[in-house]
Structure 1
């Protein structure tokens, strides 16, 4: 049975991705930081669908925690799919942004990508195959006031996606990014829709399930000639 490791999977987009992949035959390694209640709920749904789920509570930005949890598992098995989804935003204009608001956001997105991907990659190289999918954002592709830290982190992740794709293509490891626009999650709950909806050609927010469907496609045989790409799921926002 193929295995997918999904980071930041206790809620929102990450939970939707984990559930969708489980419904399509993947056992799940479900990473989260400290939201045990929501992680348990998602894990129960995965097991209810007939798939196995291993809960991994560690902070992706801390290399010691990543190593503690993943090293014993990777000695036995390498996931076929890695979805780097863990992330959060701390919005502020740069002139008022605190050092920790900058460091924490970049730490989870970029250090988290590095720590987890570096741990998984040797096994994929030995297996001569694998899929790595990074969840980025339209904020990393266009300027958004108040999100210099988040935009910088996501833009960095886009660059890392493209570079890593070139590095590992000969080993049949495909690396892509999915770039959500405005999606109905806790992160976007405070956004004034009356101001944002006119900017979206489709006139609505997307759903986590719509992001999950694209991730699932990138994990499928039909995506075997796609690598180094950023796929926007944003309702037509340019």
Structure 2
């Protein structure tokens, strides 16, 4: 989904800075060139967002390469299966470091820097996974840490409204990106009344709208864009 977000925003004239980790050697540079070919600036950084200093290091690099950003999209996620039998300290800490800590600290870095800049508006968009809507047994660490993003989004939106920064979260539902196989698709398809599974472009359209000037009156919302997905 991250690449879809980059392409969609770049096509609207937005400069892009993206992150990656353990990526194919050629892929980040291929994407960077693709974005540049759309007529905007683009840079990237390979960084482990589970590191305690990741948010500070990443934000410093963004400022160095492109200057003060006006849009922050927190799309990175860590996920393993953990039921009550397998749940342990390491599983919780691994999920917390990426899903919660990096997201929350990047939001704070963004807002602190934005408060010092003379900019008309800012946008923070966090990605969640529908933990507010139904149980996800067998994914306890994941649902706990991703669910926290919803609560954080709502409270942060109230704090940042005076700065003209909107803060929203998007739940794209099951999305057919690189993780699905045919077995998963066959299982999920009957649960989509529109007759297809969600694609990264579906999420990208909503993210692009929330990042736009037109979305200035929408903040503190958890937007479930799932094509009518039936749980």
| TM superposition score normalised by structure 1 | 0.87
Structure 2: how far apart are the matches of 1:189 and 1:112?
29
SS of equivalent to 1:169: helix
Structure 1: how far apart are the matches of 2:188 and 2:85?
24
Q: 1:201, CA displacement in angstroms?
A: 2.3
SS of equivalent to 1:195: helix
Quickly say closer, same or farther: Cα 1:22–1:110, change in 2 above 3 A: same
Q: 1:190, CA displacement in angstroms?
A: 7.0
Residues 140 and 150, structure 1, Cα contact 8 Å, conserved in 2: no
Tell me what 1:97 maps to.
87
Quickly say closer, same or farther: Cα 1:232–1:203, change in 2 above 3 A: same
Residues 139 and 150, structure 1, Cα contact 8 Å, conserved in 2: no
Q: Aligned residues, how many?
A: 226
The gaps in structure 1 that reach 5 residues or longer are: 1-12
Larger mean CA deviation between 156-165 and 139-148 belongs to: 139-148
Tell me what 2:146 maps to.
154
Residues 122 and 166, structure 2, Cα contact 8 Å, conserved in 1: yes
Tell me what 2:57 maps to.
68
Residues 141 and 155, structure 1, Cα contact 8 Å, conserved in 2: no
Residues 47 and 54, structure 2, Cα contact 8 Å, conserved in 1: yes
The gaps in structure 2 that reach 5 residues or longer are: none
Tell me what 1:170 maps to.
162
Structure 2: how far apart are the matches of 1:150 and 1:190?
23
What does residue range 113-152 of structure 1 map to in structure 2 within 5 Å?
A: 113-127=103-117, 129-152=121-144
Residues 78 and 124, structure 1, Cα contact 8 Å, conserved in 2: yes
| TM superposition score normalised by structure 2 | 0.89
